[in-house]
Every structure is written in C-alpha cells, then in structure tokens.
Chain A
Amino acid sequence: MTRAIDDRRADQELPGPGNDRRRFCARVIRVGLGGAAALLAEGLVAPGDRWGAASAAAPASLAVVKGAAGAATRRAVELLGGMTRFVRAGQRVVVKPNIGWDRTPEQAANTNPEVVVAVIRQCLEAGAGEVRVFDRSCNDPRLCFRRSGIQEAVEAIGDRRVSIFIPDERKYQEVAIPAGVTLKSWLVYEDALAAEVFINVPVAKHHGLTGLTMGLKNVMGVLGGNRGQIHTGFDDKIVDANLARPSHLTVLDATRILVAHGPQGGRIEDVRFPGTVVAGADIVAVDAYATRFFGSDPTKISHISRAAARGLGTTNPAGVREESV
C-alpha cells in the first residue's frame, strides 16, 4: 500500500486505468489515516480501544467510575479527556487532599491515599513541573499526615517533582475576594495561590454542621487564620473561599465514605463502601452528584445550592458518564 502512495507521486501526470486505480486507493488510504489521526488527536478514540467501544464520544463533563481506588481514579480522569486537559507540561500543580484528622484510612475521615497517589501520578505523566501536596489539619498535623497514610503513600512515589509537607505558618497571605459576599478577604496559603493547576481531592463525608462535606468544603484546607470564626453564615463563606481559590479539577473520593458522626468519625460502623470516584471540572456538579451516596440531594445541602445560585457551577450537568472498572 505504501508503495502505491509513493508511486502516485511518480505517476501523477500519467492517466490510465492502472494509475487511476492506484490513485484512488492511495486517496482512500490517505483520507482514512488522516481521519483516524484527527480522531485520535481530538481524544475521541483512546489508543488501544476496541473500535466502536463505549468511549467513542465527546469527553464527559462528569465522570463516575466504580472500581478499585487507583484504577477508578485513573479511569475517571481519562473519561474527562485525560489529565493533559488540565495539566500542561512544566506547570505548577497543587493536589489538595483531605488530611484533616488523626484517623486511619479505614475510618474514611481523610482522602484514600490510593486516590491521591493516582491523581499525582497522572499529573506527572501529563508532564507537571512540580506537584505540591498539603492540607491544614485540624488535629496535630504530624499525626494526621502519618495516620492518614497519605504521607507515606505520596513519598513512596519517589519522584523529585512531588513534595508533601505540613503547611508553614509563615506562608499565608491576605488576599482580596472581590466577588465575596461575606468574606471580602482572607488568608490563603501561598502555594495554593501560586498554583497554575489546583486539583481538589476531597473525601465525601457527613458533617455535623453542613450536612455533607465534599469538594466545596475541602477548599477550606488552604485557608489560614482562625477558621473557627468563619463558621457562622457558613454557606456564603464556603462559596467565597472557592472564589479565592477556584479548583480546576475536582476528583472526589467516594471509595469509602463516612455517613455519620462526620467530619471526623472514628467508628468503622459509620463507614460505607460505594467504591466510586467522581471527577469533573465543575466542583458543584461533583458535589451534587456525590450527595446521592448519602441518600441525599443537592437541594438539601445548603452550601451546594448556594454555590450553584452564585454561579460556581451546576447541580445538574449534562454529559455524565458512569462506568465500572
């Protein structure tokens, strides 16, 4: 076949049945290869996919994948179009898991370490220049970083571009929030502000005050100052915090969820196992979807409704893809 294409160049001035046929075949091949390349370039056909498989469609706006933690995380991001949609080569990335509490992974008070690691690996594969991982814990951070299993798991990646650390109290900066309704300014961690890509990796949990805590609430981990003082009028304050630090991608860990006595929990009886990861660029959509794991819906969680009302996203996205791996 290749020869036919080469011959075409040599024969391009000579008409005749043999040449016409060769020209025709060559054109078909060119168009076919070109079309396939175009499809590949648009990410509409994943390499290695069976032709005509389920993913022969536009990237999902919300990906919901059930499976083992690492595999489900990977697949969810792939369904969104792959991490390269969010991370360009050389960029400064912050991955913000929930490392809030002195609890083991089984107690579901912090993000599943395997989900965190899968997100970081995909960032590295997409060519990130650096990946910083941190959270401002509520218990002693040394205990939280260790017992959550996240520090060990992230350090085991063994890549120099990745760093996980307890926030440095000196590095919070006052930032203005022009669109803020109740918070006109607040202290935000420098690294979070300087990030070119901010990836929010929350764990879905019950919360005594807000009902549920997921992506929108997880952003509080980059805030400095006395966070206890902003718990009144909380819904708008959560939204304002998200305005101060918007998320480019939210990868929500619903592999293990805490359904009662959150956000800290402690009882294994309060943990359920949806075994699912929900991912999307629209943080409101992710949170809204995840309410169903708790038998709830976004209208019942006031900070999600408020975020939607103030235009941070939609609780009812189109392009939802649900899969199992």
Chain B
Amino acid sequence: MTGSRWLLLRRVSQTLFLVAFIFLLLRTEYRGFDVIRYPVNTFFQLDPLLGLATLIGLREAIGHFWPALLTIAVTLLLGRVFCGWFCPLGSLLDLTRRLLGLLPAPNRPLRWQGRRVKYYLLGAILAAAAANWQAAWLLDPFSLLARGFSVGVIPVANSAVNGLFNGIYFSAPSLRPLSEPVFTAFKDYVLTYEQQHFRWAWLALGLLAGLLAMERWQPRFWCRNLCPLGGLLSLCARGRSLTRKVTDDCTDCGTCWGSCPVGLIEEGTHRRSQAECTACMRCPPVCPEAAIGFAFGYSRAEAPLDIDRRRLVGSAVAGLALVPLTRISPVRAAVPVDRLRPPGSRAEADFLNRCLRCGACMKVCMRNAIHPALHEAGWEGLFTPVMDFDIGYCEYNCTLCGQVCPSEAIRPLPLADKQRFVIGVAMIDKNRCIPYRLGQNCMVCEEHCPIPDKAIVFEETSVRGASGEAVTLKKPVVVQEKCIGCGICQRKCPVKATAAIVVSPYLESRAGEGNPYGNG
C-alpha cells in the first residue's frame, strides 16, 4: 500500500543523503590533485540557517549559500520534509534509535515539553548574529555533524581499523597476504592517508555523542526541542501545501498514538496536521482504518505553532545580551600567543563572523596542522581553526584549506598569493637551539625552509670541538622579511618537547588588514 511505499522511499532517501554526506566528508582530503574535485561543501550550501545567520551577521549575501533558497522553497511547498528525508543528523538519530533497539518509537511521557526551546534558540542566534556574534555554528546540525565526524568519529574509526590491521601485521605475519590487500583497499578508498590527531577531539565527539544519546529519553529529542534549523524550517512550513489528512474513517482507537518520532500524534492531536511534521510517513501504515494520508491542499485542521511570544522576545534579548559579554573577553585586548590562523584567513572579527566551525579545514589539512581552538581565541572562538606546528606544518604548495571553507572565512587564495601570506614569523630560542646552546651543528630548520631563497640563513663561527680541533659552527638566523610562518622548521626541529624555533603570530598578514580588535 502506498503508505508503506512512501515509508520505504523516505528510508532510502535518508540512507542516500547520509551516505552522501559521509562520502563528501571522506573526500575532503588530498587525493592526488592540488585542487579538490568533489563538491565537498554541498551540504553547507543547502543550509538556510547558516545562510541566514551569515547574511544577518555580515550584512551581505554570500553567493555560496544560494542553494539554501532551494531548501526554503521545498519547505514552503512540502513542509519540514528536509528533517524527515534529507538531514543526515536526523538520519543518524533514527539509525541510533534503531541500533539501540528503540524502534518503534515508544513516546515515554516526558514531563518536559521543550518544543518551544528551538524557537528561542533560533531567536537568540539570529539576534546575536545581528550584533556580530556568530553562534549559529554551535547548534547547526551540519556544523555539529561535520565537526564531530572530522575531528572525532573519522580519526577514531581510522585508529580502530589501523589498530586491527597493524595488529595482524605484527602479531600474525602469516596472515599478511590476506590482510594487507584488504588494508590497502581501505587506505585507498576510506581511511585518511595518515592517522590524524586533533586537540579537543573528545569535546566535539562528546557533543555529538550526547545528542545521539538523547534518543534514549525521547525520539528525535534534538529535532523536536533544540535544533534551530528545525525551528526555522517549521516556521517556513506553516503555509505548506503537502499536509497530513485524517479522513472520517478514524475511530479514535489510539493505535497511532506514539507512532510519531517528533511526538505530534498523541491523544487529542491525532487528527491534526502540524507544521513541525517531518512527513516521515510512519503514521499512515499504522492506522487499521487506513484513515491517515498525505495530500496536497491546505488543511483546516492545522495546529498553530506553540510559541510563547514573550519568551521569544526574551530569547532574542538574551542573545543580544550575550554579545557584550564576549566583547569584554581578554582576547580583545591582547592576542594569545597560540592563535595562528590558516593562510588566507580574514581579519579576526570578520573571521569569527564567517567561520562555521565545521572542521572541514581541519580534516583536509595535509599535514594535520589545523586544530580546533578551545579558548586560544576567546570563548567566542571555540572550535575555530588554529595552527599547531608541533603536530604538523603548512605545506608550501598546498591551498586545500581555502578551497574547502564553506563561508570563505579562509579565503581561497591562488598559490602564489598563499605563498606570500604571512601566518606568523619563526623565532629562534637561543637558549634551546643546538648550535647556540650546545655548540654543535644542526641546521635542520634551514634545510626544510621552503622559501626558494631561504628565510633562514646561517652565521658561521669557528669554535673548538671536544678534542680541541677547530669546528665551523653554523648558527641559524631567521630572515623576517622572507618568513611566512609555515611552521615546517618548528615541526622538524629535533629539540623536544618545545622546539627551539617557534612561529609567533607577530606580523601576521591579517594584522595589516586593520585588525578591528585594535591589537594587530
């Protein structure tokens, strides 16, 4: 019967979009071409919450987000189908419920009906965006999912698979002819090239895991109560054409109560069509009288959206009120030493307005040099990308981070411009550097400096070796005008644990753009 067929179609759609999302995430990686050929940003482009928040925050339309109008158009016509059919986080939540054995959805009576909260959060986010504080990323489903996967799930999965195959490699060498070809296939198509390590990965992973765990209490807890994108789409769905219709065959038997994953069908509401309906098609097959269906045509039994207008205004005010709190953050007075931004990044205020904290740049960085910040950029900079040159460095001929940034917080620079963009300047600590401190030659930093005419040169002096012989000592000196702070010197420096040459944000290119913090 048609109800079951639509149900099946919806599941197929969810699976396809979730697989596509993960596939594009896995393709956000160097795969042998200097330019990434996959549309890895597609999902972000389709997200109207991010589009709207950046539009309000920047007071200009980012062309990148035009496809989000498509999502709005579909919602205006068909209602909140995005949440039921396309959203990968929604699909993941459904999958989690299935894996935890919680389907069919038993809607346990939960005293807290927090359905309104998502509208308040939406109001707070948009109000804050108007006051130049970008918070959409914190609660946007794509941002959450991409971040959680990029710095958490994918590295953990990699580690598990690597661990399994390396375990076989070392402890059961006779199995290598079987295991190694499989491992190679994984490495070629699924795994990241090298194991990635991210700072604060547990936090990003924990937030995502927490969301999934909430399914334990209420199905689609996130979608019902918290998701601001869901709130936005529910608002757009109010005038929709595709609605749920219950015919007069309904006997009020109550079989359908509790079948709705977003909890819209309970005693008293089972005949209604509501804007928050995700058209998941679970309710039609359940009805013994076949009285439930979905059809085009405005429904007079529409339930109004349950929002308290006063609380909505209150949440907007709260969003605005948080802004001065961020303005008094100490990071606005002095730049923390660890805040090095990827090459091509905009000046800080603009950067924070645009950055979606999606983790795409972190995932794509060839040498695992980009990491989420905790408080290095202030709390408003949580999860924004910062460079860590103890773990990685910025490859001279690579422009991948600028290519994948969905909002151009990191601008896509032509290679020649990127090679002139100053991330910072390398500074030698003469108390740690081997030639200065130990009187022995080293020069690993100079060797690896990619600037064609070298941003590290050496001073030659003659010293006495251990047996009294004359030794020519070469001491490295940084040529500040040429150094772009790529960090390879810091990364390769043999001195542990803090390298003897460290990149400082001193003289970063962004400061020259008139850092609105006034501390460039």
Contacts and interface: CB of A to CB of B under 8 A. Distances in A.
A234 B441 CA distance: 8
Nearest to A260: B453
B170 A140 contact: no
Query: For the complex, would chain B's binding face be called helix, strand, loop or mixed by DSSP majority?
Result: loop
Interface string B133-155: 00000000000000000000000
Interface stretch (A112-120, A224-232, A289-297): A224-232
Given A170-B169, A207-B447, A228-B444, A140 B452 contact: no
Contacts of A229: 494
Given A139-B395, A147-B397, A170-B166, A231 B494 contact: yes
Nearest to A151: B32
B454 interface: yes
B103 to A, nearest CB: 43
A90 B434 CA distance: 47
A30 interface: no
A147 B366 CA distance: 15
B437 to A, nearest CB: 12
Given A102-B396, A142-B32, A228-B492, A233 B440 contact: yes
A102 B397 contact: yes
A264 interface: yes
Interface residues of B, number: 33
B418 to A, nearest CB: 14
A22 interface: no
A232 B452 contact: no
Contact of A231 (B396, B442, B454): B442
A229 B434 CA distance: 10
Nearest to A302: B472
B492 A261 contact: no
Given A102-B397, A140-B366, A267-B453, A208 B446 contact: yes
Query: For the complex, would chain A's binding face be called helix, strand, loop or mixed by DSSP majority?
Result: loop
Contacts of A139: 395-396, 450
Contacts of A263: 447
Interface in B444-502: 444, 446-454, 458, 474, 492-494
B28 to A, nearest CB: 15
Interface string A108-148: 00000000000000000000000000000011101100110
A169 B366 CA distance: 17
Contacts of A266: 450-453
Contacts of B30: 140, 142
Nearest to B396: A102
Contacts of A143: 366, 395, 397-398
A139 B448 CA distance: 8
A228 B452 contact: no
B375 interface: no
B440 A232 contact: yes
A215 B511 CA distance: 46
A265 B447 CA distance: 9
A231 B441 CA distance: 7
Interface in B151-199: 166, 169-170, 193
Contacts of A146: 32
A10 interface: no
A261 B440 CA distance: 21
Nearest to B434: A232
A278 B453 CA distance: 28
A90 B335 CA distance: 64
B395 A208 contact: no
A139 B398 CA distance: 11
Given A170-B169, A209-B474, A226-B494, A232 B453 contact: no
Nearest to B472: A302
Nearest to B447: A208
A267 B440 contact: no
B443 interface: yes
Interface string B430-443: 00001000101111
A256 B366 CA distance: 29
A167 to B, nearest CB: 13
A267 B452 contact: yes
A111 B207 CA distance: 49
B367 interface: yes
B448 A209 contact: no
Contacts of B453: 261, 266-267
Given A140-B367, A170-B170, A264 B448 contact: yes
A207 B441 CA distance: 13
Nearest to A139: B395
Nearest to A232: B440
Contacts of A226: 494
A264 B492 CA distance: 15
Given A138-B492, A234-B441, 5 more contacts: A140-B366, A140-B395, A143-B397, A209-B446, A233-B440
17 contacts: A102-B450, A138-B447, A138-B448, A139-B395, A140-B398, A143-B366, A146-B32, A170-B169, A208-B443, A209-B441, A228-B494, A229-B494, A231-B443, A232-B442, A261-B452, A265-B452, A267-B452
Interface of B: 30, 32, 166, 169-170, 193, 366-367, 395-398, 434, 438, 440-444, 446-454, 458, 474, 492-494
